A and B are shown apart, each in its own frame.
Chain A
Amino acid sequence: MTTTARSVLELRKLQISLPKGADRPHALEALDLTIKAGEIVCLVGESGSGKSLCAGAIMGLLPEPHVRVTGGAIRFMGEELRGKSEAQMRALRGADISMIFQEPMTALNPQKTVGWQIDEVLRLHAKMTKTERKARAIEMLERVHIPDPPSAYNAYPHQVSGGQRQRVMIAMSLVLSPKLIIADEPTTALDVTTQLQILKLIRELQDEEGAGVLFITHDFGVVAEIADKVAVLCRGELVESGTTDAVLNHPQHPYTKALIGAVPALTPPPVKAASTAPVVLKGTGLKKTFAARGGLLSGKRKAVTAVKDLSFELRQGETLGVVGESGSGKTTVSRIVTRLLECDQGSVELDGTDLLAASPKELRALRQHIQMVFQDPMASLNPRKRVVDLIAQGPIVHGANPQKAREQAKKLLELVELSPAAANRFPHEFSGGQRQRIGIARALAMEPKVIVADEPVSALDVSVQAQVLKLLVDLRDRLNLSLLFVTHDLRVAAQLCDRIIVMQKGEIVESGLTAEVFANPQHPYTQNLLSSIPGRDWTPPSLQPDAA
């Protein structure tokens, strides 16, 4: 060791093989990576790049024998991990190497209290008495800033919030002061404000403990927020690595350039003059409560108000963004407006006709004017139908000639930049981005006046996301569409929306032109939301789009 800090983890020419029939023979190919004590190394890549398998290989938790390490070395504190017995690995796991998972709800055992689960780690690895263990667990809960640690100690995982569960996971993984922490997308399932708190917490605790952290993520904003060093994976190959500043601001490899180029910038496009086009969709005084159905013995549960007194206007050719964190009621809005959910009060006027008061028959006719693009492109396409039938279904239901509707569907495929050869395939044969294109084509087939898009790109990788967004913008401008765009991602909202509504707990807290809201947020909640965007101080360098 020549440098001052000891290297905690060294990967040398690590190779992981995939089973036959996978898209490539090796999940990871000759991966070199070094993590020193007190350093956070971010491993970045799109889905399928092999980043999670890398974590599995270090922990010795690969789904063998289908997927296994076939070459290279994994050295932990100078010691080779490959070839260690299961018992030896068990002693290392938890005590010296620990892991923070993506989804704290599934990573914690719902049957046991938080305290019991932290206690278990100590019971297995440390020789401590019962009282010592409890004191240590409560101390750890305090260090991860959980309010009222003694009561959290006795709580079950479902009784604490998502962010707090992740804190509990972090407390569990740090309780034995491990030398290496592997964090596999630890903040992906969390809201932005919680995400920022968790990132700060990881940074803070890591400073105190001096552990090395391998932080796996797909989000360049998070990288900018937390990393000391970055390694970029593309289909199992390390294409670029270096300090955060070097990789984020001066990327060398074309793949990295393309990835960073795809990150939407936070600065909204210049302010367009407020549109004076006619209003196509107008919601007034919308209200929706979900009556929770109580169990036989538990009695009636309190009804939850998802949306209260919401009003908005969407003008022809305009994009209105609805942003907010989970539970803010933004998805409920998209379902009420399309009347997939019945609303308790209020009206939604589509070109002057009240959609919510329409009879079932009128409603079916009205539906062709308001179409929806769904969040999950896998779930929203019927897996048993061919693409051409999926797209042509709407027009056929509304009385179009089936033959002509299918011809039209093939043209729409071209419009969303898919080859007409796709027409006779089934949805599962396409990638996520391609499926979302099919979803868009289906919405366009009805030639609607309004398209409601519910988080249409949040299930997609960043590069694909950029392409789908570009397509949406392109189509919107060409066909003069009006979009109601629901999203949690403020970067996406900044790029796409002319005006935005910020929602919190079912209410609008702020609304206005996107550029103005971003530049000068008035409501404290909006301010908090905007200041929590990971990597908000980093502006992706403008790179030539021809990089790919």
Chain B
Amino acid sequence: MSGPVGIVLVSHSAAVARAVAELAQGLAGGGATAPVAPAGGTPDGGLGTSSELIVEAAKAADRGAGVALLVDLGSAVLTVKALLAEEDELPERSRLVDAPFVEGAVAALVTASAGGDLDAVVAAASEAYGYRKE
């Protein structure tokens, strides 16, 4: 048996990644949630994208059922794509999710915590694009 799908939140800002992880955990409701690991900014605390922090976070969130990576923009997107192309950098069954960062994180964590598999988590996060605000 493998555990829940892991969620990784990659942002240019450590504060954003951490806060969105907390927000998702808060909104996912009480009790046990699936692992969510922030990977924000650069190792020295600046703004940017760090492949090192992304790989660490993915390993931390991996419970054997796959890892869904949500990203903000620019180099965060490209770095995760480049790492996936490397094949041996990220855990097996790691996927880049095309989803809005905040809404997607909440949808992904709720779905993963409810026991959804990687496909279900990716679908739920991507569907967050469909919710119009106006």
Whether both chains belong to one complex is answered with no
Give the interface of B toward A (CB within 8 A).
none
Give the interface of A toward B (CB within 8 A).
none
